């Protein structure tokens, strides 16, 4: 499905990609699901499937914070305080360290909860509110929908692509 351009497409693709990711993980044998990968089988940072899922979860939480701060009329620190898009690896490393050691079952529970909360944010808005660029001061030159695509459907696609190579280990 192409990049969403309206609310319905955004909701559908976020749900589709979330389900694909979780179903893929569910299809893996326990040994693969719970394995620790130290030779960049996933990527340079993440060592477990839970690390990838926790990463997605934390980005949901950040989105919720940006939204809350932005909609209150303030300018949120995006992506985070003291972090720029150029220094994103620093933030992602912090996320890894924050959740390091989280069991997959717990990671999935957190992910499902925060996914549902982000979906509720999407539901609150019209197509125009989601996809009009510069509609909200805090989103800068882009749209609220672009942020929501980035933390849902696009990010879930990244998660699946990151985990998929583990299938070869079965």
Domains of the chain and CATH, by start = 7-169 (1.20.120.450)
Closest of 98, 31, 15 to residue 62, by C-alpha:
98
Tens digit of each residue's pLDDT (9 = 90 or more) over 52-91: 999 999 999 999 999 999 999 999 999 999 999 999 999 9
Alpha helices in 47-170 (DSSP H): 49-71, 88-99, 104-123, 127-131, 144-151, 153-163
Structure tokens at 113: 């909860």
- Cβ(87)–Cβ(77) under 8 Å? no
What pLDDT shows up at residue 2? Answer: 87
| Global confidence as pTM | 0.97
Task: Label residue 1 by pLDDT band (50, 70, 90).
Answer: confident
Contacts of 14 (CB under 8 A, 6+ apart): 115, 118, 119, 122, 148, 152, 153, 156
């Amino acid at each position: 499905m192409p990049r969403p351009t309206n609310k319905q497409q955004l909701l559908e693709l976020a749900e589709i990609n979330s389900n694909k990711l979780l179903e893929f993980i569910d299809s893996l044998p326990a040994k693969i699901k719970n394995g620790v990968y130290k030779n960049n089988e996933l990527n340079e940072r993440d060592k477990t499937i839970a690390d990838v899922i926790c990463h997605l979860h934390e980005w949901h939480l950040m989105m919720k914070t940006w939204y809350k701060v932005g909609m209150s009329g303030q300018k949120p620190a995006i992506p985070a305080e003291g972090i720029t898009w150029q220094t994103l690896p620093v933030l992602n490393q912090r996320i890894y360290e924050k959740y390091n050691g989280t069991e997959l079952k717990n990671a999935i529970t957190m992910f499902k909860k925060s996914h549902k909360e982000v979906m509720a944010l999407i539901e609150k808005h019209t197509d125009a509110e989601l996809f009009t660029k510069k509609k909200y001061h805090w989103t800068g030159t882009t749209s609220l929908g672009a942020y929501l695509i980035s933390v849902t459907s696009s990010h879930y696609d990244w998660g699946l692509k990151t985990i998929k190579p583990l299938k070869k280990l079965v």
